[in-house]
Chains A and B, each alone.
Chain A
C-alpha cells in the first residue's frame, strides 16, 4: 500500500503539478502561434520574468499574505500578471511589431524572440543576481500530510499549499479562457483571426486589439505559471531553461493553434516526464520480496539526469507519427 502512495505522490501529484505549468505555458505559445504565426522562443523567459516581478512585489509588501492567510506571492499574483502583460505588450510593440510591419518571414520573428530571450535573461540576472531565491519572504510554505484511513497505509499523501493553489488556479484559468473564447466578442475575434487573418482584417476586426489581447493572456499566464512553479520549488533565474522545450513539445503534441490541445499536451508531457523518471523498483519491491527476485536499485525508465530528453522524444514521436498533433492543430 505504501508503495502506491509513493507512486501517487511522485507520479500523480508531481506530474499534475508540472503538467499544469506546462499547460499554461503551452496555451500562450499556441495562442501566439495561431494569431501571430511564429514560435515564441522568449516564452519561458517571460515566465521567469513574471516570477521575478512577483518576487519584487513580495519583497516590497511582505506582510500582505499573513494578513489574508495565503502566501504573499499568491496575493501579489494578480498585480504581477498585469505587470507582466504590460511587459509582453511592450516587447511586442518594441521588437515584433516593427518586423511584422515589414512583412518579414515568420522565422525572422522566431529569431527576434531569441534576441528577446537573452535580453530578459540578462536583465533578470543583472537586477536579481544569479542565485536562487525563496518566494516565501515573511511566511512559510504549508505542507499538508494526509493520512489514509487504511491500516497498511502508514505513508502519507503529501501535497503543499502552492500545489493546491496551482490546481485551483489552472482550473479557473482554463474555464475562464474557454468562456472568453466562445462567448465574448473579442474572444471570437481572436478565433476568427487565427482562422483567417486576411478575412479578419477585411471584416473590420481590429487586428491591433486582438494582438494586444493575445499578449495580455499569454503574459498573465506566464506570470502565473512562473510564480506558482517557483512557489512550489524555488525561484531561480535559469528556471526557463528546463521549461522551453517541454512547453513547445506540449503545444505541438496537443496540436498547434489549439487551446485545449495545449492543455492536454501540457499534462501529457508532464505525466510522461514523471512516469519516465519514476523508480519502479519501489513499487515492485514487495512483489520481489515475495518472489525472492533480485531487483536493481534503480528501475527508472530514464535516469533523472536525462529528464530533458523526455519532451524531446515525445516531440520527435509526434512529428513522425502525427505532425498535426493529437487534436489536429490548424497550423502545420
Chain B
C-alpha cells in the first residue's frame, strides 16, 4: 500500500505555475528518489507535498488519507517530516535544542528518540551543547536529519541531503538514510548524485520542466540508456 502518493499535482509560486502534473508514489518502507536538472521543480515538489505551496490541481494522499493543502503543522502531526535544501538548522540554537525543536509537537517523552538519534549520528552527541551554526556542513545535515527524525516520522522528505559534502560525508549520509529506512520509515528524497541515490532507491522519479519524465524502479532507471544519457552523465 502506498504510504505517500501524489496524483497529478500542479503548484507554483504566486501566479506562476512550476509543477504541471507530478505523479509519485512510495510504499511504506521504501526509498523514493527524485532526480532532474537544476530548476526542474524537485524542491518545489517537496514543498508542495509539505503544504508550503498552494496546490491548484491534483491531490496528495498520506496513508490513504487526503492531505492536499494541509498545513505543515498537521502534516507533522500525521507523521511526515521535511528537511529543506537550505537553511535547515537553527544556527543560534545548540544541537540538542535543534533536536528538541523537532519534537515540539510530541506530548510524550522524547528522551528515547533523542538517544536513538545520537546513536545514528554519534558526532552530534559530542557537540550537543554547541550552537549548530558552528558545525561543519556535513554535521549540519546530520542535525537537520536528526531534527526531522525526532517526531519518529512515517515519511521523511529530504531535499539534497548531500549537497556540497565531501565523498566521505556523502557516503555516511547515504548510509544513515538506508539505516533509517530499515527502521520502516518511508523516504522521498531529492538528489544530485543521481547514480548513487538510484542505487539505494526502490523507486526513482526523473523530473523535467515540472513533469514526470521517467518513473520506474531505481534499478531500471539506472539501466535505462536514455535516462543514463540525459540525466546520469553518460
Contact = CB atoms under 8 A, between A and B. Distances in A.
User: In the complex, A touching B, CB below 8 Å?
Assistant: yes
Q: Which of A192, A202, A330 neighbours the largest number of chain B CB atoms within 10 Å of its CB? A: A202
B101 A205 contact: yes
13 contacts: A189-B104, A191-B90, A195-B92, A196-B90, A198-B87, A200-B90, A201-B52, A203-B76, A204-B72, A204-B104, A204-B105, A206-B73, A330-B92
B12 interface: no
B21 interface: no
A330 B50 CA distance: 28
A199 interface: yes
A195 B104 contact: no
Interface string B169-185: 00000000000000000
Contact of A202 (B50, B92, B97): B50
A188 B105 contact: no
A80 B91 CA distance: 37
Contact of A203 (B52, B77, B87, B147): B147
A185 interface: yes
B102 interface: yes
Contacts of B90: 191-192, 195-196, 199-200
Contacts of A185: 100, 104
B100 A188 contact: yes
B155 to A, nearest CB: 14
Contacts of A330: 92
Contacts of B72: 201-202, 204
Interface of A: 185, 188-189, 191-192, 195-196, 198-207, 330
A236 B84 CA distance: 51
Nearest to B76: A204
Contacts of A203: 76, 101-102, 104, 147
A234 to B, nearest CB: 41
B95 to A, nearest CB: 13
Contact of B92 (A191, A201, A205, A206): A191
A189 B104 CA distance: 8
Closest 7 CB pairs of A and B: A204-B76, A204-B105, A195-B90, A195-B92, A192-B90, A205-B104, A192-B101
B163 interface: no
Interface in B83-100: 84, 87-93, 97, 100
B205 interface: no
Contacts of B4: none
Interface in B50-82: 50, 52, 72-73, 76-77, 82
Contacts of B151: 204
Nearest to B106: A204
A199 B104 contact: no
A198 B92 contact: no
Contacts of A196: 87, 89-91
A196 to B, nearest CB: 6
Contacts of A188: 93, 97, 100-101
B182 to A, nearest CB: 24
Interface in B24-59: 50, 52
Contacts of B76: 203-204
A140 B88 CA distance: 57
A205 to B, nearest CB: 5
A130 B92 CA distance: 46
Contact of B84 (A195, A198, A206, A207): A198
A199 B88 contact: yes
A202 B52 CA distance: 9
B100 A204 contact: no
Nearest to A257: B92
